[in-house]
Amino acid sequence: MGVSDTYNRGRELFVEDPVRAVIVVVAVLLLLDFVRQLAVGATEFSEFGVMLKDGLMRGLFFGLAGIGLSMTYSILNFANFSHGDLITGGAFGGMIATYVIAGGFGSEGDIGALMLLGSGGSVFGSQLGIGVATSPAAVVAGVVIAGATAIALALVIDRLVYKPIRDRSGITLLITSIGVAFTLRYLILFVFDGSRRGVTQSGAVPTVGIPAIDGTVSLNLHEVSLVVVSVGLMAGLHFLLQRTKLGKAMRAMSDNEDLARITGIPTERIVTYTWIIGAGLAGVAGYMFVIWNGTLHWFQGWILLLPIFAAVILGGIGSIYGAILGGLVIGLTMSISIMWLPSGLTRAAAFFIMIVVLLVRPQGIFAGRATA
């Protein structure tokens, strides 16, 4: 009886919803193989710990950077393709401050070279001893300036480009934002050159080993910093949205703009705050990514934009919490999929997961366009 019931239910699921059924079967197989790999030592526990840690880092970055993208979508109603270059712009702006301060305002190298981040190979970040432990003041200033740079860029661009076409369709704004993205990116290339520069003194980052069952997982100060900054900002944003008048007004406007207007909510001011918060988080995320990753280059934000979009869509575009959760899913998929896939395919795996989630839940994990 019991067996045939189960069998019948299984058959019904396959007939009625084959996509979901296949996903369930594949997920179970992967889980079994995961246990097998750990059991026979094909993947060591410590290796898996490293994957988990890397995925978490990447995921937090995607989440933090994705919040702004989701906010512009829900409040300004368009997919902002220049968001990636706000990330790059913020990272460059913050890093200039770091170079100048770590370089003793010109005492350890020409101030011009410092401000161009050693364009052409004149100054290197490792010489300047850049790192959270070695130059904490320069890094803290860098975080702040990174946010400020991205905010300034976003507000100037909004005033010059987006505000005049605020009433146009989302497609017009999307295509315009691609133009803005290219302009920003090539301006950065023109000023700072196209090299991929190492910016931190990677040997000087304090590291601890966390014992795992069959080895250790190393954890360095830059990783911890990324976690602290991202989680701190996410918690702050949560407080802002749920507890403050501004946050509630932002949620109200993303929920129903017409009603927000007749309630007396000043919509243009809310738009300004949306840019400030979204771009600020993007700039800080970009800077922290560079500190974590150790390198900086002109199209960094652009190549990160696609997984960030994937994260935001996966989480339910328009939702802040969806962006964070989506970021973690994409980040963890990218690093853990290496247990089954060649390293060149991990990015593809992340997008594949996005497609699978959307097949099952087309509106994303956090449904609808609610910022809440």
Partner 1 sequence: MSEATDSGADAEGTVGGANRETHTWQDSLLAVRNLDAGYGDLQILTDVDLDVRDGEYVTIVGPNGAGKSTVMKSVFGLTNRMAGTIEFNGEDITDTQPEEIIYEGLGYVPQNDNIFTTLSVQENLEMGAYILDEVPQDAIEDVYNRFPILRERQGQKAGTMSGGQRQMLAMGRALMLDPDLLLLDEPSAGLAPDLVDDMFDRIDGINDDGTAVLMVEQNAKEALGRCDRGYVLVDGKNRYEDTGDALLADDQVRQDFLGG
Residue 272 sits in the site that holds partner 1 (CB under 8 A): no
Residue 140 sits in the site that holds partner 1 (CB under 8 A): no
Q: Which is nearer to partner 1, 5 or 167 (CB)?
A: 167
* SS3 label, residue 220: strand
Residues 54-113 touching partner 1, rule: CB under 8 A, are none
Output the smallest distance, CB 265 to partner 1, in A: 5
Q: Which is nearer to partner 1, 36 or 243 (CB)?
A: 243
Q: Which is nearer to partner 1, 317 or 334 (CB)?
A: 317
Q: Which is nearer to partner 1, 261 or 361 (CB)?
A: 261
Q: Which is nearer to partner 1, 83 or 369 (CB)?
A: 369
Residue 198 sits in the site that holds partner 1 (CB under 8 A): no
- 236-242: list long-range contacts, CB under 8 Å, 24+ apart: 237/67, 237/277, 237/281, 237/320, 238/320, 240/277, 241/320, 241/371, 241/372
Q: CA angle, 151 as apex, 98 and 161 as ends, to 5°?
A: 135
Output the smallest distance, CB 369 to partner 1, in A: 9
Output the smallest distance, CB 321 to partner 1, in A: 12
Question: Binding partner 1 by CB under 8 A: which of 169, 266, 303, 361?
Answer: 266
| Tokens linked to 60 | 């937090």
Per-position DSSP letters for 87-155, written without gaps between them: HHHHHHHHHHHHHHHHTGGGTTS-HHHHHTTSTTTS--TTTTT-STTT-HHHHHHHHHHHHHHHHHHHH
Residues 155-184 touching partner 1, rule: CB under 8 A, are none
How far apart, in whole angstroms, are the C-alpha atoms of residue 40 and residue 360? 33
Amino acid at 270: I
Output the smallest distance, CB 366 to partner 1, in A: 11
How far apart, in whole angstroms, are the C-alpha atoms of residue 372 and residue 366? 9
Output the smallest distance, CB 249 to partner 1, in A: 6
Q: Which is nearer to partner 1, 180 or 372 (CB)?
A: 372
Output the smallest distance, CB 244 to partner 1, in A: 11
Q: Which is nearer to partner 1, 76 or 96 (CB)?
A: 76
Residue 215, φ and ψ in degrees, nearest 5: 170, -155
**Between the CA of residue 367 and those of 147, 150, 315, what are the distances in Å?**
29, 29, 8
Residue 40 sits in the site that holds partner 1 (CB under 8 A): no
Output DSSP code: residue 42. S
Residues 210-249 touching partner 1, rule: CB under 8 A, are 245, 248-249
Q: How many residues bind partner 1 (CB under 8 A)?
A: 21
**Between the CA of residue 120 and those of 186, 191, 211, 299, 302, what are the distances in Å?**
17, 11, 42, 17, 22
Which conformational region is residue 159 in: left (phi greater than 0), alpha (psi within -120 to 50 degrees), or beta?
alpha
Output the smallest distance, CB 245 to partner 1, in A: 7
Q: Which is nearer to partner 1, 204 or 252 (CB)?
A: 252
Is 20 exposed, middle or buried, given 0-12, 13-18 or 19+ CB atoms closer than 10 A?
middle
Residue 372 sits in the site that holds partner 1 (CB under 8 A): yes
Closest CA to 58 of 345, 329, 331: 331
Residues 301-340 touching partner 1, rule: CB under 8 A, are none
Longest CA–CA span in the chain (Å) reads: 84
Output the smallest distance, CB 232 to partner 1, in A: 25
Q: Which is nearer to partner 1, 30 or 265 (CB)?
A: 265
Output the smallest distance, CB 183 to partner 1, in A: 33
Residue 347 sits in the site that holds partner 1 (CB under 8 A): no
Mask for 242-261, x = binds partner 1 (CB under 8 A): ---x--xx-xx--xx-xxxx
List residues binding partner 1 (CB under 8 A): 245, 248-249, 251-252, 255-256, 258-267, 368, 370-372
